[in-house]
Structure 1
Amino acid sequence: GLNPEMKPRALKVDQVESLFRAIPKVKIMAPPTSSIVPIGEALILEGLKQAVKADFYTSTTRPPAVYRGNPFIVEAGLAYGGDLPAEELIDLWRFANRVPLQYQQSACAITRGALTTDWHNYGMQQSKGALPLGPMVLFVHVASVWVPFTSESKEAVASYPEIIRELKLGLQEVGRRLGGFLRHRQRLAEAEKKRSYIESYIPHIGIALREILGLSKAEEEKVVKTLTETLEKSRTP
């Protein structure tokens, strides 16, 4: 170890390298958030549900982080499906300290975070350098004691690396949840398609069994009913 009272000028090259490697391993206490006012996951969900009729909602609040000594928190949420247009680019809602950002979307770090997130991983269509395509509203909020706006008009958040990183982590979190929802829904649809296909053949199976086994009409109907009930029980709730 190094003597904490040692002067920097007295450090040798190997000691400097050792110190450099040790710094990232130190767990630093998260900055205080008493001066930051996040919206909170519950309120984000409630707001999305009131504003948008969708099939799936989720939200997340990231742990506090720091850029240039200023603590900040990133929050993200999304609503998917329902009445939202499926053939248009998603609607991106940008907020900073609970205030909506309505202009200069292309210059905003929030937009950059959404553009550089690979939404293909979560079942969305996305062209290079564009927002994803699909029935979705994406909500992003940056809360800080000092939001770094790109200008005095306060219409876009500056793209500091620390902020971009937290934005992407928040978007990836809600994206993973969306991906899980879409995969589950696809599995249900495929299973239902298979069951419908099988169901269409049940009457023919009843007829074939009647002809092979010499069943009566009543026995044939009983077989068809039993097969139909068995198929219904296999349906996923």
Structure 2
Amino acid sequence: MKSSPLNSEKFDTSRANEYGRQSRIALAGYDACQDLAACMLAASLGATRSAKILVVGAGGTAQEIVAMAKLEPGWRFTAVDPSEPMLEAAKQQLEANNLLERTAMHLGHVEDLAADESYDAATLIGVLHHLDGDETKRQILRSIRAHLKPGAPLIVAGNQYAYASQPLLLAAWGQRWRQHGASPDEVKVKLGKILQGADPPHSEAAVQKLLHDAGFGDATRFFSSLFWGAWLTCKVV
């Protein structure tokens, strides 16, 4: 397994076990984003009913696979994640939805895939803001691009903005946790973690530049929720 800028130890068993609930609180509209991502890919790919989809950072809920599989019964998936507990959590969700036969599980990184493996589309949801620095972000995008067919679509979704630069959004994010029963002290701890635990692109323009630098075209944003944004772009031939 090659080294990666994403620290898989960050996503240990404890985090994997709580990931589904925590994600749906932290991201208002979590399931709607996943559903719309599936719709955007289906719209981009058009009439094809058979497609291979690369799902990078699939660990946890595997909700993007569940959503895509429900919409397109002919699609098949390769789920990639460097965290064994997170990939195991995803496997359990896929098993519960009878999707294991349609999904190849890969513990590791995109760079570990066979060089001749190519895909009709890919998703990178909830990953970029966990990677330190722009070069590591470009690296994973380039690795994905290398496995995509010419013109293939890519869904990218994750947090943007330097968190401290958006005090109103940060305060609203804290209120979101309070809305779901967190005490003031618990909210303070969660705000501390988000300020220290990630490195998101600092604007939508920064997301676009990362995509351009990695060989993708202009992106269309289709979802937004506080710090979160979701875009569809395509590989430039």
Q: Judge same fold: TM > 0.5, yes or no.
A: no
Larger Rg belongs to: 1
Q: Which has the higher contact order (CA 8 A, sep 6+)?
A: 2
Task: Report the TM range for the smaller structure's normalisation.
Answer: under 0.3
